[in-house]
Amino acid sequence: MTETAEEHDRANRQKFDRWAGHFDDWGFAFRYFQKRVLSLMVLRKNSSFLDLGCGTGWAVCRVASMLEGQGHFVGVDLSEKMIEKAAENSKDLTHVRFHAASAEALPLEDASFDNILCTFSFHHYLNPGKALSEARRVLKPGGKIYILDGTPDDFFTRWIDQMAAGIDKGHVKQYSSGEFARMFSDAGLQRLESRTILIYPVKVHIAKK
């Protein structure tokens, strides 16, 4: 039976709601990868930053602290429990906002962000093309998106991805570097590069508006 978008979102929401209370206790590897991707960004004071699938808001809080609150810092996550935890984690920071929403329907204004981050979230999206179209809509001209995820560029990692999709109901698909290039083009984004972060097959895929 084909899964509806509502059913898919509900399954993901329930899973990450369960994780929210203890995610900060064991997410150190996740943070490491986020630090590596943030180091690739040009982050200036008074710029704007968006994290898609922000979880408990670590990256949003880090960028807001780095820029001393001078800018616009936003996180979006499907899980309301993650967003509640993110709000708690950011209570002492200024110009930080979080939204419980889908990356495929962002409650954000057009041309609002200089940089968008998405780490280990994209393979959960049922409609990746729609998510990229939304990302393009909210990016400023010249703004960039950085998508970090497992990237099956060979048979073995494609097989692992298929196995993961069979085990985890919320896992849709990991995409190859070539597939990201095509999806970026279809969304009207200019692909800049795909590069390995620390270990293959974890790669960051970078595009700009």
The pLDDT, as a whole number, for residue 6 is 86
What digits encode the pLDDT tens for the residues 148-180? 999 999 999 999 999 999 888 889 999 999 999
pLDDT at 1 over 60: no
pLDDT, position 134 = 98
So what's the pLDDT on residue 3? 72
What are the structural domains of the chain?
A: 5-208 (3.40.50.150)
**Where is average pLDDT lowest: 19-23, 138-142, 182-186?**
19-23
**What residues does 202 pair with on adjacent strands?**
150
User: Which run of H or of E encompasses 138?
Assistant: helix 128-138
The lowest-confidence range among 14-28, 73-87, 117-131 is 14-28
**Is residue 2 predicted with pLDDT exceeding 80?**
no
Going by C-alpha positions, the residue among 84, 116, 129, 80 that lies closest to residue 101 is 80
Q: Is 77 within 8 Å of 98 (Cβ atoms)?
A: yes
Mean pLDDT rounded to a whole number for the chain: 95
CA distance 81 to 102: 14
